[in-house]
């Protein structure tokens, strides 16, 4: 444990963000490698056994939702999750965020372009981060509209921008775009609705 970045304590376990960020990065590298590899039977068997072993170790460390790290660490890349394409927030305020994203080979759709489902996935993730900012009631996506303007190419640094558009009572409208240099690859608009007390 590096100790230097230990941020808090969960049920006796001191969280080490640096170690956790490295673990999530290694998981992404693994998924990218898996997506392009052609393992023979013995290699697949060996890997399956190794993964089953680690799933068992992690299963013994399972925590309640509020205490988990995956997707819940604001200070590290992608909030510490590997479910969406990798991203990093560079600037953030209440109005929105700017950042950079990279679609690894795990998110390949076809002919070198990202999968069409991975693009809305990234938007929903980013929109949720902006809408569910500090001090605001939790809100969920009611709709998410994506325009695919140009293919999203893999393994490139892409520019991200998300901004709040307007608010009408419980309804919050948000927009965003993904750019590859000067090319707008995708634009999105979503409605988030603030949850009423007791809504799941």
Ligand X SMILES: CCCCCCCCCC(=O)SCCNC(=O)CCNC(=O)[C@H](O)C(C)(C)COP(=O)(O)OP(=O)(O)OC[C@H]1O[C@@H](n2cnc3c(N)ncnc32)[C@H](O)[C@@H]1OP(=O)(O)O
196 burial level (CB within 10 Å; 0-12, 13-18, 19+): exposed
Q: Which residue from 44, 142, 150, 156 is in contact with ligand X, where contact means CB under 6 A?
A: 142
Residue from 88, 138, 145, 167 binding ligand X (CB under 6 A): 138
Q: Return the range that interacts with ligand X (CB under 6 A); candidates 21-29, 107-115, 139-147, 150-158.
A: 139-147
H-only helix segments in the chain? 17-36, 41-59, 118-131
- Asked if residue 90 lies in contact with residue 99, where contact means CB atoms within 8 angstroms, the answer is yes
Looking at the Cβ atoms of 23 and 193, the one nearer to ligand X is 193
Rounded to a whole number, what is the largest CA-CA distance in the chain? 58
Taking the least distance from each CB to ligand X, the nearer of 26 and 142 is 142
Contact mark string toward ligand X, 113..132, x via CB under 6 A: -----------x---x---x
Question: Between 166 and 196, whose beta carbon lies closer to ligand X?
Answer: 196
CA angle 20, 22, 26 (to 5 degrees): 115
Give dist(CA 141, CA 194) in Å, integer: 9
Point out which residues bind ligand X (CB under 6 A). Answer: 124, 128, 132, 138, 140-143, 169-171, 191, 193, 195-196, 199
């Amino acid at each position: 444990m590096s100790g230097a970045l230990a941020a808090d304590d969960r049920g006796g376990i001191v969280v080490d963000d640096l170690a956790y960020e490295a673990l999530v990065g290694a998981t992404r590298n693994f998924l990218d490698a898996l997506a392009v590899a052609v393992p023979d039977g013995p290699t697949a068997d060996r890997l399956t056994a190794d993964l089953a072993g680690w799933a068992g170790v992690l299963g013994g460390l399972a925590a309640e939702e509020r205490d988990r790290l995956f997707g819940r660490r604001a200070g590290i890349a992608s909030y510490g999750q590997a479910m969406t394409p990798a991203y990093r927030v560079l600037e953030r305020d209440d109005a929105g965020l700017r950042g950079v994203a990279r679609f690894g080979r795990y998110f390949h759709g076809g002919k070198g372009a990202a999968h069409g489902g991975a693009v809305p996935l990234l938007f929903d993730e980013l929109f949720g981060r902006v809408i569910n900012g500090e001090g605001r009631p939790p809100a969920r996506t009611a709709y998410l509209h994506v325009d695919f303007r140009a293919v999203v190419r893999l393994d490139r640094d892409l520019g991200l921008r998300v901004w709040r558009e307007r608010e009408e009572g419980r309804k919050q409208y948000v927009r965003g775009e993904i750019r590859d240099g000067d090319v707008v690859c995708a634009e999105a608009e979503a409605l988030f609705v603030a949850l009423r007390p007791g809504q799941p």
